[in-house]
Structure 1
């Protein structure tokens, strides 16, 4: 640990912080090109001014070295992806390694010794510089869980430390800007406590992408929203909760990037007449036409679904849902993204992370609001508008944000009803019980979180949304 603190002190002296006031970090997946018809997207289809940071997901690993996942990634997609910087010289590009399907076995093997970590680090620097990436994103799900031994929590920390030191040394030698280092991390408390030393990661990483989504889905027996902004008294899981949990444990606010999902989670209702929040469900709704994954709809598929569905707004959680017959989807739209962006600004977090660009309405084909309507909402509020404070709504949203800092004690611990589940967008059956893992050990005490304020006395409810109008309701 003395070695860690010594190196950390050197890194902090030498480090040069990059970027705008708010980061807009956007993931692009290397399977997006394989979707059928108008849902397919290639790197050259991206707007280089849309995000401040683009992350290519995912690279792989072979014999403790980072490698391209597919031959076409290295030959075609990496060059196209980084060519976007010719049009926007402020844009930063990173390469992400890992993901849910990657598992933990290869990470554990690489982390097991200084020699294997050094081999990995040297290969990372070589690959990033060869293909003109600006940094590395670690998408390890999760140290100490899913077959990863408990000591991976610490060897992962050693890797982050050694990567940063190597990046700093390499930058001095070749007289180029240091490679950036970020990580995608869980927003679920028992995973955070098992997998991460939050305080030290907060000092070592340039920014931290919090996976503040997949909080509810068809693996559960009752409907719940994929990514609510605020918690309910009986359900602490929310985006604000995840962000405040990381901050409470010592991560700097300005390095915490809140996750914004461009997809919804679906349920098949037990009864068509019982279609609200916490309604009984018996599994996933039908797969989307393009993503072909039960329990999951990309935003462009949601747009097609809601045209014939009844839409509602959850006035405690600032997110919409829709139902049609026995099919139910909790999703995000431009309005919920706006509220979440205002929360990021009000709480002085570092910005927004989008999972993923390719699940937004890329060409404006499906939703009728132009290309990338969700991500452009974030761009307008966090990037273009960074010098102009955005006024917050003058109703309970403001008090709920303040509430997040003070009076948010949880009286009941979160127990083993929470599963470890994959982040959205990978082509898999996320409902498989084999892909879930109960948390280890005793119940976790959560401390503070963000919840609907106590003065809101009516039962948690929803407001119907007028067809064709995505209007908000105020108290």
Structure 2
């Protein structure tokens, strides 16, 4: 049975997307994003109102909603995992916490307490990302503490990792993989506003040898001793904008949208024309600057290509950041991945 996992960001409950809005028939795991690290090294909720207090689906808080929803007979296959960290400030406290045995233990103990309190299935570490060999060693020590506090198979321990040797090189990947149940490979954001040229932000294969892509990252993990059976291939449920460009490899004048992105549900925009390259496993649309310019993203066709690749390589499956940006019916990326992984027409 392949994993078809999604990240659910807690802030989307404020946009009328409560946990009950998810299609659990297509989902095996939900990573609840995000918890944070308190000043003393313990885990704390990032939004206690959304997570624990507001009325959601007839209970108090999104976490209890997920706990209740997965008890419904049709949903008992779903695992809900609390993700700690995230991009930017969400990961700032990892280095200090992970370097000290006392705070590592406090973090692990609080993780167990949090998981048990909300009837969850485990913890996901989204440290973005260990930036040198010392932090990589501390990352491994943190996983060891967590595994002791969250023994398998009762509890799941996972981690989101960047899809680039520039970051992965600092992590002891083989011993980390022995402790982890799943590695969520963030195989997206290969290009963005930080890039000198426009490019496919989540291509499966590279158009040129020096272009980053998901396959190269998978090959690196495997070379470093990570079992394919523990790798989830990440799918972005958003597109990255490059104003003024007409194709990958071109110069561009800036980015449009929220932080240079548009949710997949809103693509293509206005008069933009969508195109797909099944050989690369990449899609894009081209429109006016008002439409976002040249936008790189995934579509159901490319997700099916990636799901077929996951099956061929013996990967654990796919995950999506984030489920709340998905479209509906035949346009749904999550549905496309599920159907291909499980050979459903």
Q: Is residue 29 from structure 1 mapped to residue 29 from structure 2 by the alignment? A: no
- Counterparts of 2:6 and 2:92 in 1: how far apart (Å)? 27
Structure 2 vs 1, CA of residues 33 and 50 (structure 1 numbering), >3 Å: closer, same or farther?
same
* 8 Å Cα contact 1:48/1:84 also seen in 2: no
2:242 to 250, 267, 284: 267
2:162 to 173, 186, 194: 186
* 8 Å Cα contact 2:88/2:128 also seen in 1: no
Q: 1 or 2, which has the higher strand percentage?
A: 2
Report the equivalent of 1:406. Answer: none
Report the equivalent of 1:337. Answer: 303
1:300-346 CA distances to partner (integer Å, 9 max, x unpaired)?
1114x1x5212223354122211112411011110000001001111
* 8 Å Cα contact 1:60/1:102 also seen in 2: no
Structure 2: runs of 5 or more not aligned: 54-60
* 8 Å Cα contact 1:221/1:282 also seen in 2: no
- Counterparts of 1:256 and 1:294 in 2: how far apart (Å)? 28
- Counterparts of 1:199 and 1:112 in 2: how far apart (Å)? 20
- Counterparts of 1:277 and 1:236 in 2: how far apart (Å)? 11
2:206 to 190, 213, 231: 231
1:79-113 CA distances to partner (integer Å, 9 max, x unpaired)?
11222211211211100000013354421222122
1:134-169 CA distances to partner (integer Å, 9 max, x unpaired)?
000000011126xxxx4121111011012112222x
**Structure 1 residue matching 2:267: 3-state secondary structure:** helix
- Counterparts of 1:153 and 1:311 in 2: how far apart (Å)? 41
* 8 Å Cα contact 2:191/2:201 also seen in 1: yes
Instruction: List structure 1 segments (4+ residues) > 6 angstroms apart after TM superposition.
Output: none
- Counterparts of 2:161 and 2:296 in 1: how far apart (Å)? 22
Number of paired residues? Answer: 331
- Counterparts of 1:221 and 1:281 in 2: how far apart (Å)? 8
- Counterparts of 1:325 and 1:53 in 2: how far apart (Å)? 38
Q: Is residue 322 from structure 1 mapped to residue 285 from structure 2 by the alignment? A: yes
**Structure 2 residue matching 1:250: 3-state secondary structure:** coil
Report the equivalent of 2:56. Answer: none
CA-CA distance at 1:218 after TM superposition: 2.4
Report the equivalent of 2:64. Answer: 79
Q: Is residue 346 from structure 1 mapped to residue 312 from structure 2 by the alignment? A: yes
1:136 to 117, 123, 128: 123
Structure 2 vs 1, CA of residues 321 and 89 (structure 1 numbering), >3 Å: closer, same or farther?
same
1:371-408 CA distances to partner (integer Å, 9 max, x unpaired)?
x71101111122x43xx8x9xxxxxxxxxxxxxxxxxx
Report the equivalent of 1:41. Answer: 17
Higher Cα radius of gyration:
1
Report the equivalent of 1:256. Answer: 231
Structure 2 vs 1, CA of residues 67 and 103 (structure 1 numbering), >3 Å: closer, same or farther?
closer
Structure 1: runs of 5 or more not aligned: 1-20, 172-176, 288-292, 391-475
CA-CA distance at 1:353 after TM superposition: 1.1
- Counterparts of 2:259 and 2:115 in 1: how far apart (Å)? 35
Report the equivalent of 2:262. Answer: 297
**Structure 2 residue matching 1:284: 3-state secondary structure:** coil
- Counterparts of 2:68 and 2:26 in 1: how far apart (Å)? 15
- Counterparts of 1:355 and 1:228 in 2: how far apart (Å)? 15
Q: 1 or 2, which has the higher helix percentage?
A: 2
Q: Is residue 279 from structure 1 mapped to residue 250 from structure 2 by the alignment? A: yes
- Counterparts of 1:57 and 1:244 in 2: how far apart (Å)? 28
Report the equivalent of 1:356. Answer: 322
